[in-house]
A and B are shown apart, each in its own frame.
Chain A
Amino acid sequence: MLKVSNLNVYYGVIHALKGISFNVPEGKIITLIGSNGAGKSSTLKAIAGLVNTKGSIKFLGGEIAGSKAHLVSKKGIAKVPEGRKVFANLTVLENLRMGGFNRDRNTLEKGYNEVFNIFPVLKERAKQLAGTLSGGEQQMLALGRAMMSEPALLMLDEPSLGLAPKIVSEVFDIIKELNRKGMTILLVEQNAAQALKISDYGYVLENGKITLEDKASNLIVNEQVRKSYLGEM
């Protein structure tokens, strides 16, 4: 579904992504793991069109590298940004409405109901300002907001960031559940153990290059990965 080849990102003189290539097949969860500054978020930003890139990004057969960011979203790629980034001064319902910005008005109601089915807590808090939600609720709102655009591909940037361990596993359960319903997911995580557990395939990013790729179940037992990312000695 998504085919990235030889993708480069430069921030001024800094060469952040050095020609990475990977695939996201339909219906799968693909994870990029790596430490701080490895280029995980840059990869998602590049796909979303938020930074300038060199290389090719093919989505559903069409080239999207170099498209404007708001047009990428129209093509069916939704991004849940790092640190949630909900619209703090809008209500929960308005946040969802923004998620469905380019959606046909008549199907908005259907979209709300789908989101409320998965996240009942959001229904309770529909009229509340998003900034007053707890961290876990905000992450759920960010997920729900992304789903409002009826994406074909959902990109998640560190959904576990700053959440309590119990909430983290809840969020990962929801991601798995979304995937089971047919959503294709590209996940970027520092919490490698949790991410690999729910993923089909994984890539390891180091200093802007992919150094390792394999089935998630293989990566989880890979010695190098265990040492570097799973905190085992």
Chain B
Amino acid sequence: MNKKRNSLLTIASIVALFLFLWYASAHFNKYSIRILNDIAIFMMLAVSYNLINGVTGQFSLEPNGFTAIGAYVSSLLTLTAAQKHAMFIIVPMIHPLDTLHLPFLAALIVGGLVTALVGFILAFPVFRVRGDYLAIVTLGFGLVIRVFSNNAISVTNGPLGLKGIGAYTNLWWSWGWAVFSLIVIMRLVNSGYGRAMKAIRDDEDAAIAMGINSFKIKMIAFVTSAFFEGVAGGLLAHLITTISPTLFTFFLTFNLLIIIVVGGLGSMTGTVIATVMVVWGSELLRVVDQPMHLFSFTIPGVPGMRMILFSVLLIVIMLFAREGIMGQKEFSWNGFLNFLRHRKQK
């Protein structure tokens, strides 16, 4: 009974979300739509990052590398042969990549699959180490990808980057994928595999002693994250239409780390809330960069002021909600309805 009601409520809220997006795509200005797209893509990145970092407890710093792979692969596939021919001015592109052309959806999926394959191969050396060492190895991987994209000019066009990528990403694509990845990852977390992931996070040796193949479980988490991060990279590339190696620095990973820590390591719904807060919030704070009139004072506009305010807000959150907004808990309809009932009774 409750289960059925809860899934109906979930479906209803997804429908409501898409009705809102339908309204937004017709009535919102370009700037707002761009923010909505950003929220969806970052949500997808953060949720998949949280799977490996929060749920499985493996402190990995891989997202910028994986996003770059997904972005490059899918963009190279949607660009037409003529475009590629015109763009690769230093060194012509290697065959057969220069003539390969796929529709958007296929390109995204191939981008995700290539990233997942890289994740699969990377997992063998990466999961030989734990804790801080894991962070260092994956951080190094991000740098390798950046050096590769700068220097493998016949594949990536080097520091010139790729231009004129079709602006295919709209609200439907980004939110469709964001909702899809959220559903897949939450189902995974609530399955037997998800329990095993949490067991590994709490105590890896004990989990192995229970008969859990920890390498396999970590691999499932890592490859799933890689796939969705690759797809999100593809969506990002087709949103901003120009990509270059400088786009995928450690700063991207760092932003995602902020989001999952603010939302609560291991909490997917917390991540969703935190993404909206961080992505939208940092845009809202642009107001403070402009000159302001407070009472009779005039504050001159200081560029970068919002970053200072943003940091202060993050510190406040960490002081008062040390485990993040949601901790390790998830939003549940039961809890939400109980909360509403209690408020009515008061």
| A contact residues around B195 at 8 Å (CB) | 90, 94, 97-98
| B contact residues around A88 at 8 Å (CB) | 202
Which stretch of A11-19, A30-38, A77-85, A208-216 is in the interface?
A: A77-85
User: At the interface, yes or no: A156 with Cβ under 8 Å from chain B?
Assistant: no
Given A90-B198, A101-B196, the answer on whether A50 and B208 have CB atoms closer than 8 Å is yes
Considering only residues 179-230 of chain B, those with a C-beta below 8 Å from chain A are 192, 195-196, 198-199, 201-203, 205-214
Query: What residues make up the interface of B, taking CB atoms closer than 8 Å to A?
Result: 192, 195-196, 198-199, 201-203, 205-214, 266, 328
User: At the interface, yes or no: A40 with Cβ under 8 Å from chain B?
Assistant: no
**Min C-beta distance of A76 to chain B, whole Å:** 10
CA–CA, A48 and B198, complex, Å: 21
Given A89-B328, A98-B196, the answer on whether A69 and B208 have CB atoms closer than 8 Å is yes
B198 touching A85 by the CB < 8 A rule?
Answer: no
Given A81-B205, A81-B206, A85-B205, the answer on whether A101 and B198 have CB atoms closer than 8 Å is no
B211 touching A102 by the CB < 8 A rule?
Answer: yes
CA–CA, A48 and B207, complex, Å: 12
**Min C-beta distance of A136 to chain B, whole Å:** 18
B201 touching A48 by the CB < 8 A rule?
Answer: no
Considering only residues 35-85 of chain A, those with a C-beta below 8 Å from chain B are 48, 50, 68-71, 73-74, 78-79, 81, 85
| B contact residues around A145 at 8 Å (CB) | 210
Q: In the complex, which of the residues A50, A68, A89, A99 contacts B210, with contact meaning CB atoms closer than 8 Å?
A: A99
- Number of residue pairs across A and B with beta carbons under 8 Å? 65
A87 touching B209 by the CB < 8 A rule?
Answer: no
Listed residue (A69, A86, A88, A99) with the most chain B CB atoms within 10 angstroms of its CB: A69
| A contact residues around B203 at 8 Å (CB) | 81, 85-87
User: At the interface, yes or no: A190 with Cβ under 8 Å from chain B?
Assistant: no
User: At the interface, yes or no: A149 with Cβ under 8 Å from chain B?
Assistant: yes
B198 touching A89 by the CB < 8 A rule?
Answer: yes
| A contact residues around B210 at 8 Å (CB) | 73, 98-99, 101, 145, 149
B206 touching A87 by the CB < 8 A rule?
Answer: yes
Given A70-B213, A70-B214, the answer on whether A87 and B208 have CB atoms closer than 8 Å is no
A48 touching B212 by the CB < 8 A rule?
Answer: no
Q: In the complex, which of the residues A87, A94, A97 contacts B207, with contact meaning CB atoms closer than 8 Å?
A: A87
Query: What residues make up the interface of A, taking CB atoms closer than 8 Å to B?
Result: 48, 50, 68-71, 73-74, 78-79, 81, 85-90, 94, 97-99, 101-102, 145, 149
| A contact residues around B208 at 8 Å (CB) | 50, 69-70, 73
Listed residue (B199, B205, B209, B213) with the most chain A CB atoms within 10 angstroms of its CB: B209
CA–CA, A79 and B195, complex, Å: 19
CA–CA, A90 and B214, complex, Å: 17
Residue of B nearest to A105 (CB): B192
**Min C-beta distance of B190 to chain A, whole Å:** 11
| B contact residues around A90 at 8 Å (CB) | 195, 198-199, 202
CA–CA, A94 and B206, complex, Å: 14
Q: In the complex, which of the residues A50, A86, A94 contacts B209, with contact meaning CB atoms closer than 8 Å?
A: A50
| B contact residues around A78 at 8 Å (CB) | 209
Residue of B nearest to A102 (CB): B211
| B contact residues around A70 at 8 Å (CB) | 208, 211-214
**Min C-beta distance of A34 to chain B, whole Å:** 21
CA–CA, A69 and B214, complex, Å: 10
| B contact residues around A97 at 8 Å (CB) | 195
**Min C-beta distance of B201 to chain A, whole Å:** 7
A79 touching B199 by the CB < 8 A rule?
Answer: no
CA–CA, A99 and B208, complex, Å: 10
CA–CA, A89 and B212, complex, Å: 17
| A contact residues around B214 at 8 Å (CB) | 70
Listed residue (A48, A68, A87) with the most chain B CB atoms within 10 angstroms of its CB: A87
A sample of 15 cross-chain residue pairs with beta-carbon separation below 8 angstroms, ordered by A number, consists of A69-B209, A70-B208, A70-B212, A73-B209, A79-B209, A85-B206, A86-B202, A87-B198, A87-B199, A90-B195, A90-B198, A90-B199, A101-B192, A101-B210, A149-B210
| B contact residues around A50 at 8 Å (CB) | 205, 208-209
| B contact residues around A74 at 8 Å (CB) | 211
Residue of B nearest to A131 (CB): B202
Question: Closest 5 interchain pairs by CB?
Answer: A73-B211, A87-B202, A85-B206, A69-B208, A102-B211
B202 touching A48 by the CB < 8 A rule?
Answer: no
